[in-house]
A and B are shown apart, each in its own frame.
Chain A
Amino acid sequence: MPLISEIDFGTPASRSEKMVTLTIDGNEITVPEGTSIMRASMEAGIEVPKLCATDMMDSFGSCRLCLVEIEGRGGMPASCTTPVAPGIKVSTQTQRLKDVRRGVMELYISDHPLDCLTCAANGDCELQDMAGAVGLRDVRYGYDGDNHVKARNDGAINIKWSPKDETNPYFTFDPAKCIVCSRCVRACEEVQGTFALTIEGRGFDSRVSAGMHEDFLSSECVSCGACVQACPTATLIEKSVIEIGQPEHSLVTTCAYCGVGCSFKAEMRGEELVRMVPWKDGQANRGHSCVKGRFAYGYSTHKERILNPMIREKISDPWREVSWEEALAHTAAEFRRLQYQYGRDSVGGITSSRCTNEETYLVQKLVRAGFGNNNVDTCARVCHSPTGYGLGATFGTSAGTQNFDSVEHTDVVMIIGANPTDGHPVFASRLKKRLRQGAKLIVVDPRRIDMVSSPHVKASHHLPLRPGTNVAVVTSLAHVIVTEGLYDEKFIRERCDWSEFEDWAAFVAEPHHSPEEVEKLSGVPAEEIRGAARLFATGGNGSIYYGLGVTEHSQGSTTVMAIANLAMATGNIGRPGVGVNPLRGQNNVQGSCDMGSFPHELPGYRHVSDDATRDIFEKLWGVTISNEPGLRIPNMLDAAVDGSFKGIYIQGEDILQSDPDTKHVSAGLAAMECVVVQDLFLNETANYAHVFLPGSTFLEKDGTFTNAERRINRVRKVMTPRNGYADWEVTQNLAKAMGLDWNYTHPSEIMDEIAATTPSFAMVSYSYLEKMGSVQWPCNEKAPLGSPIMHVNGFVRGKGKFIRTEYVATDEKTGPRFPLLLTTGRILSQYNVGAQTRRTDNVVWHEEDRLEIHPNDAELRGVHDGSWVKLMSRAGDTTLRALITERVAPGVVYTTFHHPTTQANVITTDFSDWATNCPEYKVTAVQVSPSNGPSQWQVDYDEQARQSRRIAGKMEAAE
């Protein structure tokens, strides 16, 4: 296993279809028009020396190292900025070029420290490489003159010198080593889109600066790492490389955080992870990353990680460490006892969106074949279940319609209830790039999210609707499109049922859907709704991206249908640049849904009542599968409280922290006799567990994740599981302990079983993924290369279905006691319940959850910025600190839910989506008042948590 080294072509690929033939050093080569001479040379296998160019960014032409000569043209043009021309003859190496290049390098090196042997970039430094490439042998100028290298010149302070900036927890900036190539500045602008870096000064005085002469941590920098990757020297370098040294081998794997599913090279030294570097061939991320995937992997070696199985009789007992055999035998015996005592349906399982497809598949198989019921559910219940329902009903598949590359072809983007810069950062960067090229943006969100206005990006329309009025606003957009005749009749007649369209069109045209009426309940000015609708319908390729702000409502499924209606009515389905795109929260939400994690359907979204489908699995597994739907998570908890549900196997989920109405969840868990938690850490749910099975990280297993664009990406094992087993092995061992004859020796065999039973995965295998890199399902005989875009020649369900979407006000209403609406969300540096990210240096950006409140509401209540407030709802109360901001509208407050001490879900109610029971996280009526400290609930909870985390014979495990 060598270190994977990617070719740097120097400049981005040209998209032109017209080809040009030229000669470089006697080699004839044909490339697309618009390609730089530098890139063409590289494609011919000739590496022209370069410093300021790299293929992630447009060329800049500042270093003058890449000069070439062209026959018949005078001078020495820079190959990175000079495009190819038909028939030209280029020389990359002549005496004249050699002399100039040496001169250039000599100047660079004369202002660069010569501590190469002890430099962290030694062996991975382009400056070093170029000095070697041009044959630099001596440097005539010393540091006696002007320089940036030495703190002092002859005892006097050198004002050109600046100290190292080590404020960012993951990388350092050492200005003394900077060659001012501006690659970092351009990476921050062009790749990341944050514009945090600038070049200050001119000529010899110029230098890189973060923000307005700030340190990195206080600047706008979001720590995506693009500049670090771009830097050719040790100026910007990972702290892990400084500490460990250069890696010696690497494997390509997939980020385990969000649904973008970025590909990374895990660069290793032995079994030690040196760094994660985004992989340029990664189809989702195209060489970019965010702070989480790039840097926040330290949790895998965190001291609080639990490495031994543990059991206890009562949840008030301390944990007792036991062998794997004992833990699994105990669990198996308990589940059998419960089923004997309380019936077959008294136990169930929860699959994880953080685990691999193969692991999820095994958990549902254990429930269906081992427990003999369909009581399996997944955390997608609490995030994207309405997506599956709504898109299934209208289009016929439970998934987004596009690949991420599609954004490069879009003209108008509508973002609804999503905050991509924080939730899906790499997608946000790609979107911003398209917006800077001129695409238009519409944001539908109660908060003024960063996308509404950030450097070089400005939304044409922001519809700051009252939480809970999504259906009204989206239906009103349709009202404008229908009543103003802006719909795409040709598309609808061809692809959809015309009479259903007519029914729907008459429905949305009703006067109570008009923007003027909807303004009254949503608070969005009618003109904004009209403007947004007109822009979306007439602005070219229109795409919709949405998130949990759409799904986590009592009308979540209805909003998804309304979105699908809008896309069909405007003809925006079935080609690049358009489509309906759910932005999935966790890395494998799509995959866990695909793998049959829901209690009513087998892998591939086939209902358990379908005899033919059950037959496939019954034959293969040698069991009878129940044809009745099982319990969903909220139903399991209800049944537990009622006494008919007694045992649960939870893999990689923390339902106590992530699910709504904490008190109800804890009551349900407390009522069970055997709660088995498999996770990395003693999470909140584990406070109620009787068995703890240590889990493994994505670095410790083989498998696949399926991202939000249906892309099946490989996860590769780079180190031995510290807990002894990968999660799929733990499930298999549990199944064996329960008497099932499972003998998978590698996850690839599980994938083979998935492919054999699930039509949309028919062609997927590890060897095929090895060959293809990744594929998007459906991947079968009909689509052997996978399906980047769906519904291309017609909808999967046949005709696209228009469905009436009537707005119904949520039962959760504000009133005199609870006059404010709370909505929840996430931030960039933290992930979900934060169990992983809180155990990394990412905490420097988000130490605690804060309550965002509008200045007017704050003043009315005597709340000051940073002061403690009590947040109360009908369900409960908690305390946290206030953050006064105009990002939220008056009447709305907002918080994140990354920290267990905040217990934001004590506040949320058990209202849920009508179709899927997806909880209504996004709307809770609350009151806010000043407070001086934690609530009694928080104090009690902390004490209970502390007690329940005790491990016999060990010091108290700190959370």
Chain B
Amino acid sequence: MSLDNTNGKLVRMANQIATFFKSQPEAERIQGVATHINKFWEPRMRKAFFELVEQGDAGFDPIVISAAAIIKRPGGPAQPSEASEHIDSAMLEAGFSD
């Protein structure tokens, strides 16, 4: 897939996030990716994201695919936030900017 279009960028961005969390302790990885995307991706980006995931051959990192299960569907009900000692959720409590 060419990286020049928006979908290509989306895949690249998700994989970049996965790359960071891959080096984090095991327990934080999938949740980390999901929380990050939930917090920073606008609904239409998440919509496109799910379309790509469902399409199946977009080239997502396996962690991203696993995280998709706990990424919030746009328009859907809010996911209960996990109480894991995770970077993004820790930041949510403290108040921070990106």
Contact partner, B42, options A599, A797, A806, Cβ 8 Å: A599
Indicate with 1 or 0, residue by residue over A608-625, a CB within 8 angstroms of chain B CB atoms.
Answer: 011000000000000000
Report how far A629 CA is from B78 CA in the complex, Å. 13
Using known A-B contacts A628-B42, A629-B41, determine if residue A593 contacts B97 with beta carbons closer than 8 Å: yes
Using known A-B contacts A600-B40, A642-B6, determine if residue A388 contacts B95 with beta carbons closer than 8 Å: no
Report how far A639 CA is from B42 CA in the complex, Å. 11
Among B12-20, B52-60, B62-70, the one that faces the other chain is B12-20
- Chain A hits for B43, CB < 8 A: 345, 628
CB <8 Å contact, A397 and B96:
yes
Among A74-82, A199-207, A630-638, the one that faces the other chain is A630-638
- Chain B hits for A801, CB < 8 A: 87, 90
Distance (whole angstroms) from the CB of A837 to the closest CB of chain B: 28
CB <8 Å contact, A609 and B39:
yes
Residue among B9, B24, B40, B96 with the highest chain A CB neighbour number at 10 A: B96
Which B residues from 1 to 46 make CB contacts under 8 A with A?
Answer: 6, 9, 12-13, 16-17, 19-20, 22-25, 36, 39-45
Indicate with 1 or 0, residue by residue over B62-98, a CB within 8 angstroms of chain A CB atoms.
Answer: 0000000000001000100000000110111111111
Distance (whole angstroms) from the CB of A597 to the closest CB of chain B: 9
Report how far A915 CA is from B88 CA in the complex, Å. 11
Chain A binding surface, main DSSP class: loop
CB <8 Å contact, A605 and B96:
yes
CB <8 Å contact, A392 and B91:
yes
Does A393 sit at the interface, judged by CB under 8 A? yes
Report how far A803 CA is from B91 CA in the complex, Å. 13
Using known A-B contacts A607-B92, A629-B42, determine if residue A638 contacts B98 with beta carbons closer than 8 Å: no
Using known A-B contacts A801-B87, A915-B20, determine if residue A635 contacts B45 with beta carbons closer than 8 Å: yes
Using known A-B contacts A808-B19, A914-B19, determine if residue A345 contacts B44 with beta carbons closer than 8 Å: yes
- Chain B hits for A600, CB < 8 A: 39-40, 98
Ranked nearest first, the 8 interchain pairs of A and B with the lowest CB-CB distance are A392-B96, A388-B97, A806-B23, A914-B16, A396-B94, A797-B94, A398-B97, A638-B6
- Residues of chain B touching chain A, judged by Cβ–Cβ distance below 8 Å, are 6, 9, 12-13, 16-17, 19-20, 22-25, 36, 39-45, 74, 78, 87-88, 90-98
Indicate with 1 or 0, residue by residue over A416-440, a CB within 8 angstroms of chain B CB atoms.
Answer: 0000000000000000000000000
Which A residues from 338 to 397 make CB contacts under 8 A with B?
Answer: 345, 374-375, 385, 388-389, 391-393, 396-397
Does A910 sit at the interface, judged by CB under 8 A? yes
25 A-B pairs with CB atoms under 8 Å apart are A345-B42, A388-B97, A389-B96, A391-B96, A392-B98, A393-B88, A393-B90, A397-B95, A558-B20, A598-B98, A606-B95, A607-B92, A609-B78, A629-B39, A629-B41, A631-B42, A631-B44, A632-B40, A635-B45, A638-B9, A797-B94, A804-B25, A805-B23, A915-B20, A915-B40
Using known A-B contacts A599-B42, A607-B92, determine if residue A914 contacts B98 with beta carbons closer than 8 Å: no
CB <8 Å contact, B42 and A630:
yes
- Chain A hits for B40, CB < 8 A: 600, 629, 632, 915-916
Chain A residue with the shortest CB-CB distance to B18? A914
- Chain A hits for B9, CB < 8 A: 638, 910
- Chain A hits for B94, CB < 8 A: 392, 396-397, 796-798
CB <8 Å contact, A388 and B44:
no
- Chain B hits for A558, CB < 8 A: 20
CB <8 Å contact, A804 and B24:
yes
Indicate with 1 or 0, residue by residue over A586-603, a CB within 8 angstroms of chain B CB atoms.
Answer: 000000010000111100
- Chain A hits for B91, CB < 8 A: 389, 392-393, 396, 797
Contact partner, B24, options A396, A803, A917, Cβ 8 Å: A803
6 A-B pairs besides A385-B97, A392-B95 with CB distance below 8 A are A393-B91, A554-B16, A639-B44, A641-B6, A644-B44, A801-B87
Distance (whole angstroms) from the CB of B85 to the closest CB of chain A: 9
CB <8 Å contact, B98 and A388:
yes
- Chain A hits for B23, CB < 8 A: 507, 804-806
Chain B residue with the shortest CB-CB distance to A610? B92
- Chain B hits for A632, CB < 8 A: 40, 42
Using known A-B contacts A644-B44, A917-B13, determine if residue A398 contacts B39 with beta carbons closer than 8 Å: no
Residue among A557, A558, A638 with the highest chain B CB neighbour number at 10 A: A638
Distance (whole angstroms) from the CB of A117 to the closest CB of chain B: 58
Report how far A860 CA is from B92 CA in the complex, Å. 52
CB <8 Å contact, A635 and B42:
yes
- Chain A hits for B74, CB < 8 A: 628
Does A604 sit at the interface, judged by CB under 8 A? yes
- Chain A hits for B24, CB < 8 A: 803-804
Using known A-B contacts A638-B6, A801-B90, A915-B36, determine if residue A605 contacts B42 with beta carbons closer than 8 Å: no
Does A248 sit at the interface, judged by CB under 8 A? no
Distance (whole angstroms) from the CB of A823 to the closest CB of chain B: 20
Distance (whole angstroms) from the CB of B52 to the closest CB of chain A: 14
- Chain A hits for B45, CB < 8 A: 631, 635
Does A503 sit at the interface, judged by CB under 8 A? yes
Report how far A391 CA is from B43 CA in the complex, Å. 26
CB <8 Å contact, A914 and B42:
no
Chain A residue with the shortest CB-CB distance to B45? A635
- Chain A hits for B97, CB < 8 A: 385, 388-389, 392, 398, 593, 598, 601, 605
